[in-house]
Amino acid sequence: MASREEYDMTYLFNPRSRRGVHAFRLAAVMTTAVALIAAPAYAQQQAPMLDALVEDGTLPPVEERLPDNPLVVEPVDNVGEYGGTWRSALRGTGDNAWIARTVMYDGLVRYNRAWDEVIPNLAESWEVNDDATQYTFHLREGLKWSDGTPFTSADIAFAVELVQDPDYPVGGTFMTDPGNPMTVEVVDETTFTFTFENPKGLLLDELASVNGSTLVSLQKAYCSQFYPPYNPEAEQMAADEGYEGWAFMMEDKCAWGQETQRWANLDLPFMNAWVVTEPWTGTASRVVFERNPYYWKVDTEGNQLPYIDRLEMRVSESTEEITLMALNGEIDFTDRHIATVANRPIFFDGQEAGDYRLGTEVQSRSTSLVLQLNLNHPDPEMNALFNNRDFRIGLSHALNRQEIIDAVFTSQGEPFQPAPRPESQFYDEEMAKQYTEYDPELAVQHLEAAGLTETNGQGIRLMSNGEPVSIAVDVISALQPEWLDILELMQLQLAEVGIDMEINNIDRTLFYDKRPSLDFDAQVWAGDGGLDVVQEPRYYFPANAESVWAFAWQAWYNGTDPEIAEEPAEWAREQMELYDQLKASGDPAEQERLMVEILDIAKEQFPLVGVSLVPNGYYIAKNNLRNVPDEMKQAWLFPTPAPYDPFQWYFE
């Protein structure tokens, strides 16, 4: 999901696992330094493809390219072998999420493979004060960008300065939160401090998310040439190159907000394992990345990572073409776009011929589909009906979920509402299972309790104004074909109790454009927040712009879209106040207690209708690709497969 976050890097929310929530929160409030064990003494080795460049003086020796304390990575199974090309594919020219999930995940800190701890990365240690308002980070000594120049605290300060510039319209990060202003202080070349006006108890989690790497992707030496405070000629430079202003030029050259453009600029330095060598342009048929000779991680024997030399990503508009590539053994690893429920039998049967294997991915989502009725509907009759809890309960009891599970998911899964998954420490069986019993008679009782006692000649229930209840449900079937299959069955099931449902299959742009106008009856998406409960609460209260079911309420909460912002119902306001307390707390136990209160209110109010627990997914990997775990957790905020360290994958 793909979910919206895979395409839009606006939110810096992050996941937690069931067993690891305490580890995350303790990491977030610890007051002593966290550091990896010092690297053992060894002779450092490099990939053979770099030997000639060192011999002719193009590159310095490997020991001069690595930091003083490189990050030592323990391989999943074995110390690997150098060489090879990892082949995968992109769907169209906007599929930046796959690059974020394979190449770009390298921030100050990161998640470990178990998804139960925030661990050092570019920052080898940090300290946090008692009330979580001040974070001091220590970078590794001797880090270098992919062009060989030093990576220092000045680069971090530059990124903060740029993003906080009111003339550079990129927001939605912890650096631009008007409710909790922050500053950065450079202490020395490897030490800097973030200071917040209010407690920021979840900062380490935010930095460890998929979005944390953007903070370390703006090299001051390169990007400052496009910024007027450092180059008085920047505006003229922008005009000479045909840009409307320096900010547009900055976006094109350094691409903080437009991640696709980032991979079209061969001059932009990076801190990642691979750097782009064939750019991602609107006409490119492929994007190519090659190893970063200055990458700052080594294996347990001192071999500089990554093992794999190159990444080649075929750009295709056709999922059918990508599927055929995988079946023919032309993709070395992917789980994106083609690893669907419908394709599973095909890929299972094709393993021997394609010389690949299928691995397991445990999904972070809770329910396969969330029906989001628009509680802020502009029509008073529809608004009153959708806000009636009995109406929502009636819809839920009218759904034959087992029929849907059998038909769409080959009997995989179980009835499930939008709620924390069983693997989550927040799992509440009552919340997950309430109103999931298929009982048309009980459904009718609740619908009549909601005032729908009369029907027309077609058997459709009538609202108080005499109009039939007809709900148009927006869906993007191109994104996830199963959603359309689910809705078609729901349509038949709801008709049995007198509710007309129209399926409105639209493109992604229109899907999102309708939200600010509130011009929709309902939209559907998958159940994000099943494992990352605290960090992705969109279905538990009106938390962000993905809380489509109460878009005007979330606008009120977040201070966005003032023309449509609407004061929420009392129960939703209470949840918002609780979440504000949670974000401001540095106490792990208090954060947990507050989240439970939010979930209890969500359970009581039942604002959304779900279908079934998302079954395990799968990935496709060539048989000779090693150090890939047999099982992974699949999420966006924990951007699989990046946390499983693809730089230590190798071809045997």
The predicted structure's pLDDT at residue 20: 34
Q: Looking at the structure, do residues 603 and 635 belong to the same domain, yes or no? A: no
The stretch 220-247 carries a mean pLDDT of 96
| 625 vs 628: CA distance, rounded Å | 7
Average pLDDT of the segment spanning 504-532: 94
CA distance 651 to 401: 43
Q: Centre a 10 Å sphere on the Cβ of residue 441 and count the other Cβ atoms it contains.
A: 8
Q: Can you tell me the mean pLDDT for 362-369? A: 94
212 within domain boundaries? yes
246 and 227 fall within a common domain? yes
User: How confident is the model over 622-652, as pLDDT tens digits?
Assistant: 999 999 999 999 888 899 999 999 999 999 9
Span of 473-487, 493-507, 568-582 with lowest mean pLDDT: 473-487
The total number of structural domains that make up the chain: 4
Question: Read out DSSP for 372-413?
Answer: EE-TT-SSHHHHHHHT-HHHHHHHHHT--HHHHHHHHSTT-S
Residues facing 362 on adjacent strands = 633
Provide the CATH number for the domain around residue 247: 3.90.76.10
| C-alpha to C-alpha distances, 565 to 163, 227, 484, 560, nearest whole angstrom | 26, 35, 31, 7
Kindly state the average pLDDT of the residues 282-294.
93
User: 32-41, 158-167, 386-395, 586-595 — which is least confidently predicted?
Assistant: 32-41
> Which single residue is written with the structure tokens 């989240």?
595
In a domain, 79, yes or no: yes
Whether 355 has a pLDDT exceeding 80, the answer reads yes
In a shared domain, residues 201 and 173: yes
Domain check: are 392 and 507 in the same one? yes
Q: Where are the extended beta strands (E) located within 279-355?
A: 286-291, 297-299, 310-316, 333-334
In this structure, the answer to whether residues 119 and 197 fall within a common structural domain is yes
Which CATH number characterizes residue 491's domain?
A: 3.10.105.10
Please tell me which residue, 283 or 60, carries the higher pLDDT value: 60
Minimum mean pLDDT among 136-145, 165-174, 251-260, 421-430: which range? 251-260
Q: How confident is the model at residue 260 (pLDDT cuts 50, 70, 90)?
A: low
Owning domain of residue 447: 370-610
206 and 346 share one domain: no
| 345 shares a domain with 292 | yes
Say if residue 94's pLDDT is above 80: no
Cα–Cα nearest to 634, from 621, 649, 618: 618
| Amino acid, single-letter form, for residue 118 | V
Q: How far apart are CA 577 and CA 589, in angstroms?
A: 17
Res 159 pLDDT > 60: yes
Neighbours of 111 (CB within 10 A): 30
The strand order across the sheet containing 191-196 reads: 123-128, 134-139, 191-196, 182-188
Look at residue 176 and tell me whether its pLDDT is greater than 80: yes
Reply yes or no on whether the pLDDT at 36 is more than 80: no
In this prediction, what percent of the chain has a pLDDT beyond 90? 77
On the question of pLDDT at 71 being above 80, the answer is: yes
Does residue 161 lie in a domain region? yes
**611 exposure class (CB count in 10 Å sphere: 0-12, 13-18, 19+):** buried
Q: Is residue 342 part of a domain?
A: yes
- pTM (2 decimals)? 0.83
CA contacts within 13 A on the Cβ side of 583: 21
Residue 24 lies in a domain: yes
The answer to whether position 265 is within a domain reads no
Mean pLDDT of the chain: 90
Q: Are residues 143 and 52 in the same domain?
A: no
Nearest of 598, 486, 473 to residue 535 by alpha carbon: 598
Segment 170-194 shows an average pLDDT of 90
The reply to whether 344 and 420 lie within a common domain is no
- Domain end point (choices 257, 287, 304): 257
Q: Please check whether residues 377 and 454 belong to one and the same domain.
A: yes
Query: What tens digit of pLDDT does each residue of 427-441 get?
Result: 999 999 999 999 999
pLDDT beyond 60 at 262: yes
Q: What is the pLDDT of residue 259?
A: 58
The answer on 518 and 383 residing in a single domain is: yes
Q: Which of 535, 527, 549, 542 is nearest to 615 (CA)?
A: 527
Q: Which of 257, 282, 316 is the last residue of a domain?
A: 257
Tell me the chain's radius of gyration from C-alpha atoms: 25
Structural domain ending residue among the three candidates 222, 257, 292: 257
Q: At 480, is the pLDDT very low, low, confident or very high (cuts 50, 70, 90)?
A: confident
Mean pLDDT calculated for residue range 66-94? 94
Mean pLDDT of 217-244: 96
Instruction: Say yes or no to pLDDT of 13 above 60.
Output: no
Do the domain assignments include residue 264?
no
pLDDT of residue 177: 86
Residue 450: the pLDDT is 98
Is 571 in the same domain as 429?
Answer: yes
Spatial separation of the C-alpha atoms in residues 75 and 644, rounded to whole Å: 10
Task: Indicate the Cα dihedral angle 6, 10, 12, 16, nearest 10°.
Answer: -30
**Assigned domain for 651 exists:** yes
